Amino acid sequence: MRKLKLSELNRISVEDFKHAPKTPVVIVLDNIRSMHNIGSVFRTADAFRIEAIYLCGITSTPPNKEIHKTALGATDSVDWKYFEKTEDAVGLLKSENYTVYAIEQAEGSVSLDNLTIPVTGKIAIVFGNEINGVGEEVIKCADGCIEIPQYGTKHSLNISVSAGIVVWEIFQKLHQR
C-alpha cells in the first residue's frame, strides 16, 4: 500500500466542475463569524459537488485570504450568492421547490439518521452562527430542523464539522435512491 500522488487522483478542473452534474443541495450559512469555517464549508461543498452556497448576513464572502486558507480554491469551483437576510435566501429556495432544513436542536427536530429525503430531492440546509445557532426567524421559515445525534457532554459541534457530517449523510441518502 502507498499514498497516491496528486497526479493519480484524477481530479477534475474547475471548468469541468462547473459543467458536471451537481448534488441537489444548497448550503445556507446564517451569520457565520469564522472565515476558516466558511472556507471549510466551501471545501466540503466542492468535495460533494454541491449546487451552491448562500452566504448570509455577517458571513464573509470571497475573495478573502482568510477564507482561501481553508477553501484552497473551492471558492472558484462552487457557486455562491450573498443575501443580506437569511430569510430572503430561504424564501428564494422554497420558491424553487427546495425543502429547507435548519441544522439545529429544536422542538420537533428530526434526527439526521432518521431523515427521509423529500420527493423533490432538492434540499437546502441552513447552518447557524457559532454562538447563537440558526436564527429563530430563519427556523420559522424552514420546513423543518435536523439534529445531529450527540452522546457526550457537549451538545454542539463546530459548524465545519456539522457541515461535513450533514452533507455526507444527505449525499449518501440521495445516491441510494
Number of domains in the chain: 1
**CB neighbours of 59 closer than 8 A, spacing ≥ 6?**
29, 30, 31, 32, 38, 82
Q: pLDDT of 25-69, one tens digit each?
A: 999 999 999 999 999 999 999 999 999 999 999 999 999 999 999
Query: Is 8 contained in some domain?
Result: no
Q: Which domain holds residue 110?
A: 26-146+157-175
The pTM is what? 0.96
In this prediction, what percent of the chain has a pLDDT beyond 70? Answer: 100
Which CATH number goes with the domain that contains 96? 3.40.1280.10
Q: What gap in Å lies between CA 40 and CA 83, rounded to an integer? A: 20
